[in-house]
Amino acid sequence: MAASTSQHALSSIRLLPTGCFHPDKRASHLHSVSVGRCCPNTRNLGLVCASNSQSSVVEPVQLPGSPKSSAAPKKSSESALILIRHGESLWNEKNLFTGCVDVPLTPKGVDEAIEAGKRICNIPVDVIYTSSLIRAQMTAMLAMMQHRRKKVPIIVHNESEQAHRWSQIYSEETKKQSIPVITAWQLNERMYGELQGLNKQETADRFGKEQVHEWRRSYDIPPPNGESLEMCAERAVAYFQDQIIPQLVAGKHVMIAAHGNSLRSIIMHLDKLTSQEVISLELSTGIPMLYIFKEGKFIRRGSPAGPSEAGVYAYTKNLAQYRQKLDGLLQ
């Protein structure tokens, strides 16, 4: 089933053009890839192995800046990594180049996010990463509302000392029932420059289909004053290595809600795709992809089945045990 769901997820995917700069800065088979030190400036990765100790399925990750955040995290023999492309946005619906423009979801996009949440409702989540754009954040929140554990996703505000202080939680019990949501511009869609807000068909008529196709589908050619997929990959993969892999090594289960191009970049890194292979990879809106991080390697498991289908929970012994615990807690 893992093979069929993985192939289905990759074949059902469509790509929309999106991405961003920070305002102040410029599978038909199981596949595993080793990871190494999480340095944002290196691509030479050595093997890193997590320990074999078991982590609690309900233990929350420490909120950044909390007094206990410097303590050594508990490690696990495996962690779940969930990738979700946001649901349909209002500009997807209008066939406009979106990129870094901050556009919300359509009603269809809301439904897609809810459906994504149902597919992952029995998979543990300790920490959520999203882009800084509302469509990704809406998707993450709507998806987690479907989770059977009923933990509350809370956006972490560390942009200033005051923001951190004002958003403190003073109940330990409430903290245990919360999931931190960390937003990062590095996970934004690729910035489409002067194409943002233009109708795709009208743009093709104006510049020619071949030119627009080259801007949209090439790996290293950016649109006017925009980002290429290669440029998007540099920031997204560096952030993934530096910030997200350490969480997985520590045994935390991670969900990333982001965009077509930033997620394609991360998948390119995980599955060791070539620049030619990645430009043909398309990700459907609202379809989650599951990876298992085990002994320093990522194993792709494809798209989780719906909650009424048990197959995905047999992917690993730990996932099966987690669902059994949920069944016992929530009956």
Q: What is the pLDDT of residues 152-189, one digit of tens each?
A: 999 999 889 999 999 999 999 999 999 999 999 999 99
Task: Please count the other Cβ atoms lying within 10 Å of the Cβ belonging to residue 28.
Answer: 12
Q: What is the mean pLDDT of residues 292-300?
A: 95
Q: Using CA atoms in the order 241, 246, 252, 258, what is the torsion angle rounded to 10 degrees?
A: -20
pLDDT at 60: 33
Q: Which of 9-13, 43-47, 158-162, 313-317 has the lowest mean pLDDT?
A: 43-47
Q: What is the pTM of this model?
A: 0.78
Annotated ligand binding at 90? The verdict is yes
Annotated ligand binding at 302? The verdict is no
Annotated ligand binding at 86? The verdict is yes
Residues 217 and 209 sit within 8 Å (Cβ to Cβ): no
| 66: confidence class by pLDDT, cuts 50, 70, 90 | very low
Tell me which of 78, 112, 189, 227 is the catalytic residue: 189
- Characterize the bridge pairing of strands 152-155 and 178-183: parallel
Q: How far is Cα 218 from Cα 202, in angstroms, rounded to an integer?
A: 20
Tell me which of 78, 86, 227, 259 is the catalytic residue: 86
Q: What is the mean pLDDT of residues 197-211?
A: 93
CATH 3.40.50.10320 fits 5-326, yes or no: no
Annotated ligand binding at 91? The verdict is yes
Annotated ligand binding at 200? The verdict is yes
Q: Which of 69-78, 106-115, 244-253 has the lowest mean pLDDT?
A: 69-78
> Does 136 score more than 90 pLDDT?
yes
> Does 88 score more than 90 pLDDT?
yes
Q: How far is Cα 324 from Cα 183, in angstroms, rounded to an integer?
A: 31
Q: How far is Cα 130 from Cα 256, in angstroms, rounded to an integer?
A: 6
- Residue pLDDT, tens place only, 138-149: 999 999 999 999
Give the CA distances from residue 135 to residues 80, 148, 305, in Å, rounded to whole numbers and listed in that order: 23, 23, 23
Is 172 one of the annotated active-site residues of the chain? Answer: no
Residue 126: what are its φ and ψ, rounded to 5°? -105, -30
Is 189 one of the annotated active-site residues of the chain? Answer: yes
| 63: confidence class by pLDDT, cuts 50, 70, 90 | very low
Q: How far is Cα 198 from Cα 158, in angstroms, rounded to an integer?
A: 34
